[in-house]
Amino acid sequence: MKEKQMNWFGFGFNGFGQIITGDVKCKVNTPVLLSDARGSDCRVSWSSRAAVIHTDSGSRVCVSGFVRRSSGQVCVPESEGCTDASISERHVTISFTSRVECWEIQQAQNRLVWSREQESSGQDVALPLVPGGYVVPRPPFFRPLCAKLCAVSLALGTEHAVLLTASGTVFTWGSGSHGQLGHGHLASQEEAQIVEALWGVQIAAVSAGGWHSASVSAGGDLYMWGWNESGQLGLPSQSVEEEKLRARRTGDTLVLADAYKGSKDLCVASCGFGNVDLAVNQAEEKNKDDVFISIQAFPALVDIPQVSEITQVACGSRHTAAVTGTGDLYTWGWGSYGQLGHDTEHSTDEPTQVKYFHSHDMRVQDVVCGLWNTFVSAVPHERSSHKHRHTE
């Protein structure tokens, strides 16, 4: 059977050509095919995107975006034969079978700044995890982890970390200023501490964003906690509601201005709009009674209507993306750079399907969030070869 071609798509912040090279436009608000990342794994930072390309002859890392002020894709020759990689603003971390290295990629020539020999731990773990600990984007690059944790996955946010153990338990540490640790308070935590609210729930995947966190249970339930300023938790957000009201006011103003164009009453329309102001004011009064959530310090179950199972989740600075069991993509949160993929730059606190993949008959397999953008791998939907038989 012929293997289906996996394609990567990107949308959101493109200020350094991470998505579209050449004639760079800062915002991409609908998915765009990445021609240089087919059959690869995607890693992203704020200004760059790394593709870990696997071929029959080996693996290598190629970087797009802000890399030594060059345009297009730059391959990292020191990465030949790598097993995994991650990227930050100044460094690319490369994992090999017997060692892990950190290279500075913004110099005229790549410069090795840190290296560590490693022995096989018997576990297949991905960066930033390495045997005995994990790697961060700044010195000291290596941080130890207690072996008793049996870590299988680690997500690093802007100021915090979310770890998943082999038993399906979640631990967090770092800054708790926005409730992103999930311990019910806003205090920071230097050592890994279990998220007790998820105790007894078998967790299969975790993610960490700017100041929010997410986890997916083995049964496909989505739990989120932390900062909800832009609706990134999928919970009611005051700033999102205010954005809707501003859009409603602007939209109605444009409609009435067009209706009054050429009329002697134009000044009335542009200076008050009578009924429009009244309607918006009534909506504002109504919204005063709504309950908005700025910080959710405990994990909250996120309900996505008509979705029975979530398989993957990824967090950006202030937005979230999730893949469903049927291969659909949902996004929500801050959308000012088009990172939600809804062909708008509006934010939303309601998980909303990205229609592009459904309309192109594609099944989403993976999602990775940068701070202000989103990258998605998708394959064509399988079509049934069985024909219906009609009996008389």
For 287, the 3-state DSSP assignment is helix
Whole-angstrom Cα distance, residue 122 to residue 119?
A: 9
**DSSP designation for 128:** T
The model's pLDDT over 105-144, given as tens digits with 9 standing for 90+, comes to 887 789 999 999 987 666 678 999 999 999 999 999 999 9
Q: Are 15 and 24 in contact (CB under 8 A)?
A: yes
Q: Say if residue 4's pLDDT is above 80.
A: no
Q: Say if residue 267's pLDDT is above 60.
A: no
Q: What is the pTM of this model?
A: 0.88
As a whole number, the mean pLDDT across the chain is 87
Amino acid in position 226: G
Whole-angstrom Cα distance, residue 231 to residue 318?
A: 8
The model's pLDDT over 308-367, given as tens digits with 9 standing for 90+, comes to 999 999 999 999 999 999 999 999 999 999 999 999 999 999 999 999 999 999 999 999
Q: Kindly state the average pLDDT of the residues 154-178.
A: 98
The model's pLDDT over 216-235, given as tens digits with 9 standing for 90+, comes to 999 999 999 999 999 999 99
Q: Say if residue 278's pLDDT is above 60.
A: no
